[in-house]
Amino acid sequence: MNIHHLELFYYVAKHGGISEAVRNIPYGIQQPAVSGQVIQLEEYLGVTLFQRRPFALTKAGGELYAFIRPFFDNLGAVGDKLRGGISQHVRIGASEIVLRDHLPDVIQNARKKFPKLRFTLHEGYQPELESMLQKREIDVAVTLLDNKPTSGTQTLPLLKLPLILLVEKSAALQSAEELWKRDRIEETLISLPANETICKNFQQTLARLGVDWFTGIEVSSLALVEAYVGKGYGIGLSVEPPKAKFSPQVRPLPLPDFPPVTLGVMWLGRPAPLMQSLLNAMQERVEFLRK
């Protein structure tokens, strides 16, 4: 049997489908390639290894997965042992802004102590990153923190981020208070999904103010909030990080009566030396931004 075909099947079985496997395979490969090579494995064996929709391993697929799983599960540990017992690979999940603007400097600082540091980056937001962490698909998440983290999750608060509204540059609106005084807010609210901490904090404070204003356009990132505001689709809910640079097409409106959200780090278990080095580097980055 082709060992690479077995490896791809391992990821498909472990993560419950081809699309999920592609997201977690630690090297670049497209979904059609995975599907095609797993089909070749099935043709070689003369059996169907799993049902596609809904995903479920067949009896033959379960037997094969049980046989190959110990080998592929322990590859990382063997590599760590051969490198001297200390893992120098870390999987980091964060938003696109954090990955683009801040992680390069954090990783550079961590490499002063771990020069052979290798990393895999996953883009996402709070609920998705928390789920990936619990499934051990990532080692650390840089994201917004809720007041009650999931059991077993360790957290390190890094930075308070004030909530803001984004409006078109040419909009007549000069303050958020003008909106709260209206009988009805006609402008469309553009924001992240309702289960994000930013949205939950915003809606809780609106309720205390006696204001009804719910999301009209839901987007998957703060970059998209800014982009759609700049195109005139409505008013966006966002945060203002240190040294924030917004598009020339938008301007921020402060929300002084709304509590800020907390950006922090999440991980599971006691931090290993590499993890601690990353945490220290993240704290140094925050201090640099504050100054």
The total of structural domains in the chain comes to: 3
Whether 235 and 101 share a structural domain: no
Task: Give me the pLDDT at residue 115, please.
Answer: 86
Q: What is the pTM of this model?
A: 0.67
Q: From CA 74, how far away is CA 216, in angstroms rounded?
A: 47
Does the residue 79 lie in any domain?
A: no
Verify that 144 and 197 share a domain, yes or no.
Answer: no
Both tokens of 13, joined, read 């079985």
Lowest mean pLDDT among 59-63, 72-76, 127-131, 222-226: 72-76
| Strand partners of residue 238 | 164
User: Same structural domain for residues 141 and 277?
Assistant: yes
Which CATH number is 140's domain given?
Answer: 3.40.190.10
Last residue of a domain, one of 38, 73, 108: 73
Give the whole-angstrom CA distance, residue 291 versus residue 289. 5
Q: 63 lies in a domain?
A: yes
Q: Is 2 exposed, middle or buried (0-12, 13-18, 19+ CB in 10 A)?
A: exposed
* 254 and 277 co-located in one domain: no
Domain termination residue (choose one: 12, 38, 73): 73
For helices 59-73 and 3-15, give the axis angle rounded to 10 degrees.
100
Task: State whether 171 and 245 are in the same domain.
Answer: yes
Q: Is the pLDDT of residue 218 over 90?
A: yes
Determine how many CB atoms are found less than 10 A away from the CB of residue 243.
Answer: 9
Asked if residue 269 and residue 224 are part of one domain, the reply reads no
In whole numbers, what is the pLDDT of the chain averaged over residues? 89
- Owning domain of residue 243: 163-259
* 78 assigned to some structural domain: no
8-20 confidence digits (pLDDT tens): 999 999 999 998 8
Pair 177, 213 in one domain: yes
Q: Are residues 154 and 280 in the same domain?
A: yes
Domain boundary among 73, 102, 118: 73
- Comparing 65-69, 84-88, 92-96, 168-172, the range with the smallest average pLDDT is 84-88
Averaged over 254-274, what is the pLDDT?
Answer: 90
